[in-house]
Structure 1
């Protein structure tokens, strides 16, 4: 039976949404990633500015997320991250999140599956793990707790 081991917790600072609008897939917007920090038992460092979360608010009320960004470890090594997932909950809770209100994360579901790509040999283990994450949305940042599936 798989178990989880903490990989890191991150605080991701977000910019104002760039609205693309209604598309055949749903309402699309891009959320710029302005930076942040991540810290865990084996890796820690900063989240670099320049990534983004390409979101689709689907017609069933759920939010499909696909973020791509770069981690820079304290040792100066770069890690590419592609993080896909979903957020959903009761309509009134989602409306409060969209309005920028603080909402307890136990009132909605926010899970992702980050995939890592590292060139540094000491970080090659990241290239071959499966990870899952739990998210908390705040008005100007997201907290992601990332776990390695053992």
Structure 2
């Protein structure tokens, strides 16, 4: 065990996106004591060296707010690239609101002005120019801005992969 080394990896920025979400959220109290908060996507933009275009105005984020302050994100969106390809983007993630009181506020439509979030996007397409997205693993770093209408969710998306044979 003393010769155990950490695995090598690489991280590459793929794109940044900003999704507009209708500020009129659907809030449903579930029998599990959780709350589903659904926000409908109304559009957005995508920019970066690998992918750029727009967010098609369809899809939504169906988040579950737990009484302990954890939010499980479940979002479906579609990117239309500048050259006409369609890339489906599905992502989950977890947000820690910090307290039971913050969860209660969130569940009642009282959102913080801005909060951080970290999604795990999965991309897929049938367009041969972007077929490579079907084979990659991604993570995102982002924030949600509730101070505007529409609500703005912005993420930086990175590809990550192991490089076990690199000796750098």
TM-score range, shorter chain: 0.7 to 0.9
Q: Does 1:83 align with 2:91?
A: yes
Q: How does 1:138-149 map to 2 (within 5 A)?
A: 138-139=145-146, 140-149=151-160
CA distance in 1, matches of 2:21, 2:119: 17
TM-score normalised by length of structure 1: 0.87
Q: Which runs of 5+ in 2 are unaligned?
A: 1-7, 162-168
State the Cα distance separating 1:89 from its structure 2 match.
Answer: 3.7
CA distance in 2, matches of 1:134, 1:126: 18
State the Cα distance separating 1:25 from its structure 2 match.
Answer: 6.3
CA distance in 1, matches of 2:112, 2:97: 15
Larger radius of gyration: 2
| Conserved 8 A contact 1:100-1:138 | no
Q: Which runs of 5+ in 1 are unaligned?
A: none
Q: Which residue of 1 aligns with 2:144?
A: 137
TM-score normalised by length of structure 2: 0.79
Q: Which residue of 2 aligns with 1:58?
A: 66
Q: Does 1:41 align with 2:44?
A: no
SS of 1:4's equivalent? strand
| Conserved 8 A contact 1:25-1:56 | no
CA distance in 1, matches of 2:86, 2:138: 18
CA distance in 2, matches of 1:70, 1:78: 7
| Conserved 8 A contact 2:69-2:102 | no
Q: Which residue of 2 aligns with 1:99?
A: 110
**Further displaced range: 17-26 or 49-58:** 17-26
Kindly report the root-mean-square deviation, in angstroms, between the aligned alpha carbons of the 2 structures.
1.9
Q: Work out the number of aligned pairs and report it.
A: 145
1:127 to 114, 125, 134: 134
**Further displaced range: 15-24 or 117-126:** 15-24
| Conserved 8 A contact 2:93-2:118 | yes
**Further displaced range: 24-33 or 5-14:** 24-33
CA distance in 1, matches of 2:98, 2:123: 31
Q: Which residue of 1 aligns with 2:166?
A: none
